[in-house]
């Protein structure tokens, strides 16, 4: 019995240590990336495996693509809205993904463009 208790205690300290290490090593951007959609989880995993090196040119290219997708998809139905705060925009785009059946990739690029 005492051995089992010791094992539990050791396991507890081990988990606490692991979580503590995780808390200070996992970059916040990788933790939060899952919000954009299911496929973003894969991106987050990749980002953790390969430290993200976001070049300005990549961001610019994504912004340009995002604007193109925005005009192509959103402009089909309505005039361009103002940019909402990022977390509102994420909700709006999830709604529009369902309503307007826009693709997963388009949604993520438009979200990037609309939150810059």
Partner 1 sequence: MGFVLLYPRRKTAFAHRQGIALPWAPALILLLSIAAYSQTADSEKPIPILTGNAGAFSFVSGGHNLIDTQINPVLLVPLGDRWLIESRANFEGQFQRPADGGPYGGPVTKHVDYAQVDYIANPYVTVTAGRFLTPFGIFNERLYPVWIRALQPDPLILGIGTTSSDGLMFRGGFSVNSAVNLNYTAYISATSIGIGSVDSERHVGGRLGFFFPGARLEVGGSWQRTLQDVRKNAFGFHMGWQPPKVPLNLRAEFARSVYGSGYWIEGLYRLGQMPFWQKQMRHAEVVGRAQQFFTGQVAWYNSPWSLPWANTREADFGVNYFLHDGLKAVASYGRQFSPLGNFNQWTYGIAYRFAIPLGPTGAR
Structure tokens at 12: 């507890």
Task: Give the Cα separation of 83 and 46 in Å (integer).
Answer: 29
Give the whole-angstrom CA distance, residue 30 versus residue 44: 5
Window 24-63: contact mask with partner 1 (x via CB under 8 A): ----x--xx-xxxxxxxx----------------------
Q: How far is CA 95 from CA 1, 10, 49, 58, 115, in A?
A: 54, 46, 31, 27, 16
- 70, 97, 109, 110: residue in contact with partner 1 (rule CB under 8 A): 97
Segment lying near partner 1 (by CB under 8 A), choices 45-53, 54-62, 74-82 = 74-82
Q: Where does this chain bind partner 1 (CB under 8 A)? A: 5, 8-9, 12-13, 15-16, 19-20, 22-23, 28, 31-32, 34-41, 68-69, 71-72, 75-79, 81-82, 84-92, 94-95, 97-106, 111, 115
């Amino acid at each position: 019995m005492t051995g089992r208790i010791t094992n539990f205690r050791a396991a507890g300290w081990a988990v606490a240590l692991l979580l503590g290490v995780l808390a200070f090593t996992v970059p916040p951007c990788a933790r939060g990336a899952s919000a954009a959609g299911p496929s973003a989880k894969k991106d987050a995993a990749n980002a953790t495996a390969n430290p993200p090196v976001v070049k300005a040119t990549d961001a610019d290219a994504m912004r340009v693509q995002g604007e193109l997708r925005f005009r192509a998809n959103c402009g089909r139905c309505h005039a361009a809205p103002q940019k909402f705060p990022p977390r509102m925009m994420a909700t709006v785009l999830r709604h529009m993904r369902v309503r307007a059946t826009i693709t997963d990739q388009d949604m993520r690029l438009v979200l990037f463009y609309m939150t810059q």
